[in-house]
């Protein structure tokens, strides 16, 4: 089905006009970005239109299309819901929602959406094709075939429809109708190997080996790149005693798929029959390395190891087999032979006697084997009984070794950025500083009256800003802060009760990474002014940075004052438990003084996350989001926590929102989560 079903979104102008030129213009720019595969940027443009005119349907629909292109099907479905609620007469919205629902496995709902879309556009082949796929996955095989037949009527030049019909008929176990469909496909497409390949399998199922052999020849003559064609023809060649041809077939199958266990197994058996025992052992080694439960391959391998004199390997393999099947007589005989040849005759006699005992009491040992198997199954069930949900975080552990797909647009944020690997780590703490790296994508509100009011006092040489991105300062800038420390020290000696002077010097100390001195100055500032909310907030941040520094110093055996973005481990949180309690106390004091300071709630959520207090962390992120509904980092981090708690549905929703608000790394995690 994948060969003919491609989601193609058509972006057309709508007759409805915007009340203001700027939103119309922004929508047009967003659609241009969408057409140029700049999906993340397109979402930001549509966000702007939605913010100004949330009652319009089209921006939600366009944003849904962008999210689908980023594999964010949960977010796309939500946007389509809103678009359809705003205007139930946009076929593209039903089509987009149907596609998103199909990807989410909601096949019945997807079919209803495609039905609705077809009411507006009854001959739209893209919608028909997607409905056919949804019907098949919903096990409505007749409905799927009806759609494919209609599709074929509208597009008589498309040759693969009969193949799809045949494949579905095969799902219904209607082999006669399946063969008829594949016959039609072969007749209409004389170049493709596909029809011959599938028809050959059907003929093998009906024991028509001669017919199957001819079809495999035809498929391979048409340059088939399906390893199964070569493996199956190799099996048929062996039956015809054409061993060299069979060996060539297995070699070709392994070239196409170097990890195909069946190809190695069949080649290993063939090589053994031809007396090429060492190479046969090599093939069977690959089989048992890839699948340790393939005991047939292991038994054959052990037998060959006996023949070539690798007694230690043979004995080891027989032991593994007997651990699984403790009453399997041939394995006892094989192990006895390996042990005897290695000179341990008494042990070999004992094993042969055990084999003789089992062989002469087959009924008893057969019942015993059945009981052993039942006990193993019961034990496995008991071990897995407590596991209620899939461990979602395991998906990201497995992803580490997967090769990343290359983005044709390079390392930027254009195209299918969801294919880039992203670590399962939360966003950093927010802090107050003089320097901020601009990020036009993120929608988090970094303005707060507390910061604005302090800036208005002109207590500092420059204005403070909120950010969660550290910037490495160049030497000239660092020197200015060292000079500032000296100047402020002189001022403090003249006016030791001025909390603002200590606060300013503490910021300078933090920037030159003298964290201990910075903490001392923040402490002095709050002792002079117990209501100094920003000082409590920053002391909490610097205490956390000091923990990071100490952790990196221990880990990397460093003695110089260097910073790192290393995340705390469970061991370090235990070592610095008191420090974390002091950090939480400072953040709580900040919140007490300024209850709507969202950054303090957010940072508190991060600290609880590092302490693995997930419920407390969720509460803090919830509060931050209630204050700032566009707090991108809070949604992102809450999504990560939901993954740790195996709450996939909530994680999907939060990560989708984070991506919508500009944290494009969320799309990579969403894609892994939805696998």
Which domains does the chain show, CATH number per domain? Answer: 1-114 (1.25.40.10), 431-673 (1.25.40.10)
**Position 588 pLDDT exceeds 50:** yes
Residue 385 tokens, joined: 């009984």
pLDDT, position 474: 82
500-513 per-residue burial string, b: 16 or more CB within 10 A, e: under 16: bbbbbbbbbbbbbb
Decide which of 366 and 623 is more confident: 623
Count Cα atoms within 13 angstroms, Cβ side, for 83.
24
Longest alpha-carbon distance in the chain: 103
Tens-place pLDDT, residues 9-20: 433 333 333 344
**Position 551 pLDDT exceeds 50:** yes
Share of the chain above pLDDT 70, in %: 83
**Position 653 pLDDT exceeds 60:** yes
pLDDT, position 393: 59
pLDDT, position 327: 80
From residue 646, alpha-carbon distances to 95, 531, 640, 667 in Å are: 31, 41, 10, 18
pLDDT, position 437: 77
pLDDT, position 9: 41
DSSP collapsed to 3 states, 194-208: HHHHHHHHHHHHCCC
Tens-place pLDDT, residues 470-521: 888 788 888 888 888 999 999 999 999 999 999 999 999 988 888 899 999 9
pLDDT, position 2: 38
Local structure of residue 386 (DSSP, 8 states): T
Beta bridge partners of 431: 467
End-to-end Cα distance, the chain: 19
pLDDT, position 567: 59
Average predicted confidence (pLDDT) for the chain? 84
Read off the pLDDT band of 624 (50, 70, 90).
very high
Instruction: Return all residues near 279 (Cβ < 8 A) that are at least 6 apart.
Output: 271
Residue 448 tokens, joined: 């707060």
**Position 274 pLDDT exceeds 60:** yes
**Position 195 pLDDT exceeds 70:** yes
Residue 534 tokens, joined: 């920003």
**Position 631 pLDDT exceeds 90:** yes
**Position 385 pLDDT exceeds 50:** no
Q: What's phi and psi for 433, nearest 5 deg?
A: -155, 175
CB of 513 closer than 8 Å to CB of 561: yes
Tens-place pLDDT, residues 169-184: 988 888 889 889 888 9
Report the predicted TM-score, pTM, of the whole model to 2 decimal places: 0.72
Q: Residue 426: helix, strand or coil by DSSP?
A: coil
pLDDT, position 602: 96
């Amino acid at each position: 089905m994948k060969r003919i079903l491609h989601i193609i979104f058509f972006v057309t102008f709508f007759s409805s006009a915007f009340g203001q030129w700027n939103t119309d213009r922004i929508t047009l720019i967003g659609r241009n970005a969408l057409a140029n595969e700049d999906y993340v940027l397109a979402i930001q443009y549509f966000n702007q239109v939605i913010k100004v005119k949330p009652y319009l349907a089209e921006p939600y629909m366009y944003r849904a299309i962008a999210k689908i292109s980023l594999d964010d099907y949960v977010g796309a479905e939500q946007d389509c819901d809103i678009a359809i609620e705003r205007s139930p007469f946009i076929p593209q919205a039903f089509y987009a929602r149907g596609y998103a629902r199909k990807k989410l496995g909601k096949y019945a709902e997807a079919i209803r959406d495609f039905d609705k879309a077809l009411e507006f556009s009854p001959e739209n082949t893209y919608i028909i094709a997607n409905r056919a796929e949804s019907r098949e996955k919903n096990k409505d095989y007749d409905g799927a075939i009806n759609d494919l037949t209609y599709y074929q009527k509208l597009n008589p030049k498309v040759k693969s429809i009969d193949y799809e019909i045949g494949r579905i008929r095969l799902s219904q176990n209607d082999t006669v109708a399946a063969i008829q469909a594949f016959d039609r496909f072969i007749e209409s497409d004389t170049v493709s190997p596909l029809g011959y390949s599938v028809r050959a399998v059907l003929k093998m199922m009906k024991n028509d080996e001669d017919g199957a052999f001819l079809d495999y020849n035809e498929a391979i003559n048409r340059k088939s790149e399906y390893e199964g064609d070569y493996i199956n023809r190799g099996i048929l060649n062996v039956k015809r005693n054409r061993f060299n041809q069979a060996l060539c077939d297995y070699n070709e199958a392994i070239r196409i798929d170097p990890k195909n266990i069946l190809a190695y197994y069949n080649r290993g058996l063939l090589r053994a029959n031809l007396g090429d025992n060492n190479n046969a052992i090599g093939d069977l080694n690959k089989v048992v390395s890839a699948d340790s439960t393939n005991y047939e391959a292991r038994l054959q391998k052990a037998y060959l190891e006996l023949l070539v004199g690798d007694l230690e390997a043979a004995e080891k393999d027989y032991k593994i087999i007997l651990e699984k099947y403790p009453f399997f007589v041939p394995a006892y005989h094989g192990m006895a032979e390996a042990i005897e040849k290695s000179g341990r005759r008494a042990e070999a006699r004992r094993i042969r006697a055990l084999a003789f005992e089992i062989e002469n009491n087959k009924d008893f040992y057969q019942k015993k084997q059945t009981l052993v198997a039942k006990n193993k199954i019961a034990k496995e069930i008991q071990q897995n009984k407590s596991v209620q949900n899939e461990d979602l975080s395991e998906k990201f552990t497995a992803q580490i070794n997967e090769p990343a797909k290359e983005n044709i647009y390079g390392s930027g944020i254009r195209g299918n950025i969801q294919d880039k690997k992203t670590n399962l780590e939360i966003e950093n703490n927010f802090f107050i500083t003089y320097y901020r790296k601009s990020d036009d994508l993120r929608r988090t509100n970094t303005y707060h009256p507390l910061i604005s009011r302090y800036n208005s006092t002109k207590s500092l040489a420059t204005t403070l800003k909120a950010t969660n991105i550290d910037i490495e300062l160049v030497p000239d800038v660092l020197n200015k802060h060292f000079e500032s420390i000296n100047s402020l020290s002189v001022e403090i000696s003249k006016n030791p009760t001025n909390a603002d002077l200590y606060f300013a010097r503490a910021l300078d100390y933090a920037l030159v990474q003298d964290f201990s001195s910075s903490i001392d100055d923040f402490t002095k500032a709050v002792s002079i002014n117990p209501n100094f909310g920003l000082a409590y907030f920053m002391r909490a941040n610097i205490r956390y940075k000091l923990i990071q520094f100490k952790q990196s110093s221990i880990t990397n055996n460093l003695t110089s004052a260097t910073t790192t973005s290393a995340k705390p481990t469970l061991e370090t949180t235990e070592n610095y438990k008191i420090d974390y309690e002091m950090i939480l106390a400072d953040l709580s004091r900040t919140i007490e003084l300024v209850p709507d300071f969202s950054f303090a709630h957010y940072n508190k959520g991060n600290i609880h996350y590092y302490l693995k207090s997930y419920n407390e962390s969720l509460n803090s992120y919830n509060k931050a989001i209630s204050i700032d509904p566009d707090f991108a980092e809070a949604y992102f981090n809450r999504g990560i926590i939901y993954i740790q708690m195996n709450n996939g549905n909530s994680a999907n929703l939060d990560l989708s929102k984070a991506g919508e608000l500009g944290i494009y790394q969320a799309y990579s995690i969403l894609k892994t989560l939805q696998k």
